[in-house]
A and B are shown apart, each in its own frame.
Chain A
Amino acid sequence: MVKTIVVNPVYLAIVLSIIMGLSTLVLYILFRAVIAKYSVRSGDAVEPYIGGEHPSILSRPFVAQSNLYWGFVKRNFVKAYGFLKGEMHTGRLSDWIKYMSSWLGLLLLIALVVIIALIIGGW
């Protein structure tokens, strides 16, 4: 009836990879059985579909896809940037030293907490 097997993770990864391969094979056979007799393929290879435009449009400059990333980052981090600009880039050396020492101080504090936690709790 029902069987539950507990194995180690490596063995499980191997078993599931084999099952994945087996499923792909069975799906391929099923797929071939469905499409084999009736499938029609267009004879000549066609141009990419570009919404009815002339292919020359592809040579025009496009908006870079990286803009998607930078647009998102800039829009969401504009406040953080404003804060940094207001705190750090005031033109006064003392502001810069204050900012850097507070940031490095925070990192030092985190390191100390971790070290103390490790000493108390053990490695």
Chain B
Amino acid sequence: MISLYTILLALFTTIVFPGILFIIALALFTEWYIRKAVAHMQSRMGPKYVGPIGLLQPLADLLKLASVKEEIRQKYSSIGVAKLFGLLGISAMIASLLLLPLSPLRIASDYDFLIYIYLFGVWVPLSIIVMALSTPNPFTNIGVSRLLSFIIVIEPAYFSAFLVPVTLTTYSGVEPVYSVYATSTHVYRLWTNPVYAVLLVVALVAVIASIQAKTMLNPFNIPEAEQEIIAGFATEFSGPLLAIYNLLHDIEVAVASIFVAYVFLGGPAPFNHLSILGILVLIAKYILVVTIISIIRSSYGRFRIDQGLRVLTKYSLILGVLSAIVANIIVLI
């Protein structure tokens, strides 16, 4: 029997923390941070005018798109379907946050890692693809075909790289098995074993490369490829639909980074969530991941599609799969 307290906690978790309100705030902060960091590296100012040191600029951009800008209804488009799938993509990421120890209501099970992959690795790309195909256009088609080519390489790489800490934690005797929650709470112990640490570093490189491509940041902004193919799959997005897509993209960066901060780096470990030090360590790890993403983004120009796929195969797919295979062999031995 589910108690009233559990239901209220589930509602709080979904709507306030770490659900809708928190993740939107975190996503907008992350966008601001990346823009500011990249601007700093390129000797520019970055966001400056709205809010203290430009902190509210992403929120102002979002509200402007949602409430002021015109939504251009193209002849062959299905704007309603595009918006629905945009919101479903955001919701899938919000639901996946309940698997983390960050949430006041943590729900775990054996093999919940697969449910995370289903929510983050299937629903999010699917949402973007359906959003794009709901506004048909030659540039959109090219963007989607590039995105699909990317997905073939990125998703197995992401999955394999995540499998490394999850497998190592499971075979350390922690239950539930293959669980995001169990991995997040125990992974920091794995870093003390030198063999495991090497494997985790290799998997971390693979996962960062795949996140860079999943979130379509430089040098993997090939499906969008502004100017080259106008805006790729987002060519026909405008007004509120563009606001939903931008929010989905920002949340994707934030959720990907927070999962790396937990599943690979252990979240607030060696402290706990409710201590000041724990919160500071968690923020530091999150900022570290986002900073690495920002440095890569500002250091490279856009790759050609074949270059991008080759680099991803080399540094993400092969590294991810190899580290997963080696991790499994080690634990079986």
Contacts and interface: CB of A to CB of B under 8 A. Distances in A.
A20 B94 contact: yes
Nearest to A50: B138
B267 to A, nearest CB: 14
B88 interface: yes
Contact of A3 (B83, B104, B146): B104
A38 B67 contact: yes
B19 interface: yes
Contacts of A15: 107
B300 interface: no
B67 A16 contact: no
Interface stretch (B40-48, B210-218, B305-313): B305-313
Interface residues of A, number: 50
B137 interface: yes
A45 B87 contact: no
A76 B91 CA distance: 38
Contacts of B74: 45-49
A31 to B, nearest CB: 7
A30 B15 CA distance: 11
Interface stretch (B109-117, B254-262, B291-299): B109-117
Contact of A23 (B95, B109, B142): B95
B236 interface: yes
A12 B87 CA distance: 21
Interface of A is mostly: helix
Interface stretch (A64-72, A85-93, A96-104): A64-72
B239 A39 contact: yes
A110 interface: no
B63 A23 contact: no
A26 B230 contact: no
A72 B111 CA distance: 34
B151 to A, nearest CB: 12
A11 interface: yes
Interface stretch (B6-14, B164-172, B186-194): B6-14
A15 B112 CA distance: 12
B126 interface: no
A51 interface: yes
Contacts of A47: 74-75
Contact of B106 (A2, A40, A69): A2
B71 A39 contact: yes
B125 interface: no
B70 A40 contact: yes
Interface in A11-33: 11-13, 15-17, 19-24, 26-28, 30-31
A31 B244 contact: yes
B67 A65 contact: no
Interface in B65-107: 66-68, 70-76, 83-84, 87-88, 90-92, 94-96, 98, 104-107
Given A38-B68, A49-B236, A12 B19 contact: no
A7 interface: yes
Nearest to A57: B138
B282 interface: no
B145 interface: yes
Contacts of B104: 1-3
Contact of B236 (A27, A48, A71): A48
A6 interface: yes
Contacts of A34: 63, 66-67
A8 interface: yes
Contacts of B87: 24, 27-28, 31
Contacts of A9: 109-112, 114-115
Contact of A5 (B107, B110, B239): B107
Contacts of A40: 68, 70-71, 239
B295 to A, nearest CB: 27
Nearest to A22: B14
15 contacts: A2-B104, A3-B9, A5-B6, A9-B109, A9-B112, A13-B115, A19-B95, A20-B119, A23-B19, A31-B240, A35-B240, A42-B70, A42-B71, A48-B136, A72-B305
Q: What 6 A-B pairs are tightest by C-beta distance, nearest first?
A: A23-B91, A65-B145, A12-B109, A20-B95, A38-B67, A48-B137
